[in-house]
Structure formats: C-alpha cells, structure tokens
Copies of this chain bind each other. A is one copy, B any other.
Amino acid sequence: VTIAVLGTGAVGRTIASKLVELGHDVIMGSRTRDSDKAAEWVRTTDGRGAQGTFADAAGPADVVFNCTSGVGSLAAVELAGRDRLRRKILIDVSNPLDFSRGMPPSLTVCNTDSLGEQIQRALPETKVVKTLNTVNHLVMVDPLRIPGDHVIYVAGNDAGARAQVAGWLGDWFGWKPGSIIDLGDITAARGTEMVLPLWIRLMSTLGTPVFNFTIAR
C-alpha cells in the first residue's frame, strides 16, 4: 500500500520510518514541497521514502496518517484536499495542544467537541479513525518496549474502518488484539484527547514519556 504521512515532526518521522521499514511506499507531506525536515527524513530511507505537499502525499495514498501538530491539523487536511481523501481512511494521531502560552499546553478544543470530530466534519466522505494519540511516538510503533497489556484506543464512525485500523495497529506496529479498545464513534476522541493534561503531568512526575495505561478490573 501507498501511505501518506502528513507532518514532519517526531510523530510523523517515527511512523513514516516504521512504515518504510515494513516495505510500504511512504510519502511524507508538508506545507511546502521542499520541506527541509521532510528532505532530511527522505535521506534516512535510502531513497524509499518520498516527500511532497500535503496534496502530493494525499493524492496517490491508499491510507493517510495525520501526524501534524493539532493547531495545524485542520489547515493540513484542507490542503491535502477533501477530494483526494474521499473514501480513504485517515488515521488521526494528532492532539489539539496549544503550546503558545508555554507549559502546560491548553487544548484548543475539548469537552463537547474534539479535534477528531473537527477533522471528520471537514472531511465528511473520509473515514477518520482516531488512535495512537494517547502514547508517545516511540510507543506508537513499538508497544513491546513497555511490558504488559497496556492499551490503545480506536474511535471512528465507520466500524469497518475501525476494525481495519485495529488490524494495521497489530500488523504494522505490534499492538496485541487484546490491547486495542474499540470505543465506537468519533465522539470518543473527546475522551482520548482529554487524557493529555493528565498524561503530560504524569510525564513530569514519572520522569519519562515512555509509559502507558493498562486497564485493571
């Protein structure tokens, strides 16, 4: 499959590299066609990765990861293009964090709405699935670096797309089926995005971003 990764930050680079390593065709999309950060990433792939604008990446892609920063996500998917994303699965990894007033960040949207829902509304014919946004990027593509059945959530309006994404989480990144929790429709993104303030506080308290939650019952 051809996979677009929107975003050139640590999250995008980590996911894109893992997908290249698995033999997929990966196009990293950014605002400009000649992004230095994307070019730097392409150089690490022995020519197997490509770069382009958000639209360049979205056009040929079978599936799209949104790894842009939350404050830029709506503009990014707009540039990627509603038509180019039509009927495709968009895996939304972003969080609506606003760092403009320093630490801790505030959320740009929460409570009765979420960034996942905003993106779904902006792309009504795309199957948006929110996932992976509750863990550090190192954990996203390598859950085995943390012991135990720690969990990852999927949320989206299309049950088939949620199941497909759950399968990819397993096949591509090694998430065990029992660790993947299907929360149902995209409104569940409110809950997974609103975990971020606690997550950020715990990162300071624990002294590491490499942790995750297990559910005990």
Contacts and interface: CB of A to CB of B under 8 A. Distances in A.
Interface of A: 106-107, 110-112, 146-148, 150, 153, 181-184, 188, 190-192, 194-195, 197-202, 205-206, 208, 210-217
Given A111-B110, A213-B214, A215-B206, A191 B182 contact: no
Copies in the complex: 2
A137 to B, nearest CB: 16
A194 B198 contact: yes
Contact of A215 (B153, B194, B197, B214): B214
Contacts of A111: 106-107, 110-111, 197
Contacts of A214: 148, 213-216
Contacts of A147: 216
Nearest to A146: B216
10 contacts: A110-B111, A148-B214, A181-B205, A188-B198, A190-B197, A191-B200, A191-B202, A208-B217, A211-B216, A214-B216
